[in-house]
């Protein structure tokens, strides 16, 4: 495998830092190539602005066309082009981050905002009566796999069906489906560690063992069975799931997963 680890934590000696280091060591020992984008160490610029697009920035700034024009011309900033090149190099992408306010840290969201540019992450492929662009199962990153490795402060019960935070699969759906599956990545079930603010050495050892097992099965793990957009499950252009295709009892985000 060629694995890119996108890592977002300000403290190298953090739990997230340890999990990232474990991933690098485990994958390299198994003979895989690994590259790491350590966003804090890179002082990653998280905010999109006109400087991202140089002479292709429209005035007033309209982000989508500016982003697409700069991408087409090969003149997006060097930091963004380097991350796009890493994504195209990789066959597997690991995102290592703590859950902050129900989602990823802002620096990582800013990585997505800037790296998944128009004509790279979105705005790809034709739109016609049967095909609504290359996305949700197709797109630039098709053929690659991704996995979230997330540490969470609250205990697991808070993230279950009746838990106060809502089910973890619902909280992660915007990342899994809206960010990763959208440009074509196959999304593996996440590795989630709960109750991480107070963990003992024994709990860390157990977590490290489970993460190692997941790392060594990344190539063979079955992705989440999200429905592909252009292959008959959705009406086009409304993009509503066709009547009768839902699994019994499925509603909300779960409608877009075709198997248990
Ligand atoms: C802004 C913000 C928003 C948040 N929002 C949410 C939220 O919405 N929902 C939620 O549930 N939680 C939330 N949290 C909590 C957050 O998810 C946890 O604090 C985080 O996941 C812990 O990861 P860390 O890498 O920062 O841990 P650290 O603070 O680095 O470590 C956590 C524990 O692991 C131990 N540890 C670290 N490394 C090792 C090692 N190598 N070996 C053994 N033990 C180790 C540490 O000693 C410590 O006890 C939020 C926190 C912040 C700061």
Percent of the chain with pLDDT over 90: 96
CATH number of the domain where residue 125 is located: 3.40.50.360
Question: For the chain, what is the domain count?
Answer: 1
- Is ligand 1 within 6 A of the CB of residue 151? yes
DSSP string across 202-260: HHHHHHHHHHHHHHTTTTTPPPP-BPPTTSSSB-TTT-PBPTT-SPTT--GGGGGB---
Q: Is residue 249 part of a domain?
A: no
pLDDT given for residue 206 in this prediction: 97
Nearest atom in ligand 1 to the alpha carbon of residue 150 is 21
Q: Which pLDDT tens digit goes with each residue over 206-254?
A: 999 999 999 999 999 999 999 999 999 999 999 999 999 999 988 899 9
164 lines ligand 1 (CB under 6 A): no
Per-residue pLDDT, 249? 87
229 found inside a domain: no
- Answer whether residue 245 is part of any domain: no
Mutation test residue for ligand 1: of 21, 152, 153, the one with most atoms within 8 Å of CB: 153
Q: Is 101 in the pocket of ligand 1 (CB under 6 A)?
A: yes
Mean pLDDT of the chain: 97
pTM of the model: 0.98
Q: Is 40 in the pocket of ligand 1 (CB under 6 A)?
A: no
Quick check: is 244 in a domain? no
pLDDT at 260 over 80: no
Tell me how far CA of residue 36 lies from CA of 96, 203, 214, 237, in angstroms.
10, 26, 18, 39
Domain-located, residue 68: yes
Give the number of the atom of ligand 1 that is nearest the alpha carbon of residue 193: 21
HEC-encoded secondary structure of 164-188? CCCCHHHHHHHHHHHHHHCCCCEEC
Alpha helices in 90-200 (DSSP H): 106-115, 168-175
Domain of 78 in residue numbering reads as 2-222
- Give buried/exposed letters for 48-81 (b at 16+ CB in 10 A, else e): beeebbeebbeeeeebeebbbbbbeeeebeebbb
Residue 258 domain-assigned? no
pLDDT tens for each residue of 80-91: 999 999 999 999
pLDDT value at residue 259: 84
247 lies in a domain?
no
């Amino acid at each position: 495998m060629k694995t890119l680890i996108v890592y977002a934590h300000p403290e190298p000696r953090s739990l997230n830092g340890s999990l990232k280091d474990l991933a690098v060591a485990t994958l390299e020992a198994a003979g895989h190539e690994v590259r790491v984008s350590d966003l804090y160490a890179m002082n990653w610029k998280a905010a999109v602005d006109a400087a991202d697009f140089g002479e292709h920035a429209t005035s007033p700034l309209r982000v989508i066309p500016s982003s697409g024009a700069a991408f087409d011309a090969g003149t997006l900033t060097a930091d963004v082009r380097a991350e796009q090149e890493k994504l195209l190099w990789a066959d597997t992408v690991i995102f290592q981050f703590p859950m902050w306010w129900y989602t990823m840290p802002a620096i990582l969201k800013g990585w997505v905002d800037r790296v998944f540019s128009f004509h790279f992450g979105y705005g790809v492929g034709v739109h016609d009566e049967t095909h609504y662009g290359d996305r949700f199962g197709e797109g630039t990153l098709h053929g690659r796999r991704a996995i979230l490795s997330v540490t969470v402060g609250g205990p697991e019960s808070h993230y279950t069906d009746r838990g106060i935070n809502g089910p973890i699969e619902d909280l992660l759906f915007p990342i899994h489906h809206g960010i990763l599956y959208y440009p074509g990545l196959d999304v593996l079930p996440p590795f989630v560690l709960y109750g991480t603010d107070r963990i003992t050495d024994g709990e860390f050892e157990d977590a490290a063992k489970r993460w190692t097992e997941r790392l060594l099965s990344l190539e063979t793990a079955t992705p989440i069975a999200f429905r592909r957009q252009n292959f008959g499950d959705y009406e086009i252009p409304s993009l509503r799931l066709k009547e009768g295709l839902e699994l019994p009892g499925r509603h909300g985000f779960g409608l877009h997963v075709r198997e248990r």
